[in-house]
């Protein structure tokens, strides 16, 4: 089972929220809402997409770059944790 399959429900829920945010932007444009409101919604949408991307990258790192049999204090796990923190800092 791939890491995406393991987290499928959580990822799909994120995507459904993202779809709702995109639809809200579309409605705001159709209704000629003020630019600040449209930009605020677009920024929120970008943040949600960045969060989704960060989650998939984190799952990939933990599933494919770290041996599950390695001890919790192994250098590989520490490096993976550091990389996950960097990804989250950059994307979220």
Predicted local confidence at residue 3, as pLDDT: 66
What is the reported pTM? 0.83
What are the pLDDT tens digits along the chain (92 aa)? 466 777 889 999 999 999 999 999 999 999 999 999 999 999 999 999 999 999 999 989 988 888 888 898 999 999 999 999 999 999 98
Which CA distances in Å does 89 have to 55, 74, 82?
A: 12, 23, 10
CA distance between the termini of the chain: 27
């Amino acid at each position: 089972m791939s890491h995406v399959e393991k987290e499928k429900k959580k990822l799909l829920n994120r995507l459904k929220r993202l779809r709702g945010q995109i639809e809200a932007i579309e409605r705001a444009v159709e209704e000629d809402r003020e630019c600040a409101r449209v930009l605020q919604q677009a920024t929120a949408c970008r943040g949600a997409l960045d969060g989704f991307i960060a989650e998939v990258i984190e799952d990939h790192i933990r599933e494919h770059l770290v041996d599950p049999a390695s001890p919790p204090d192994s250098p590989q796990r520490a490096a993976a944790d550091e990389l996950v923190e960097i990804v989250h800092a950059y994307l979220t």
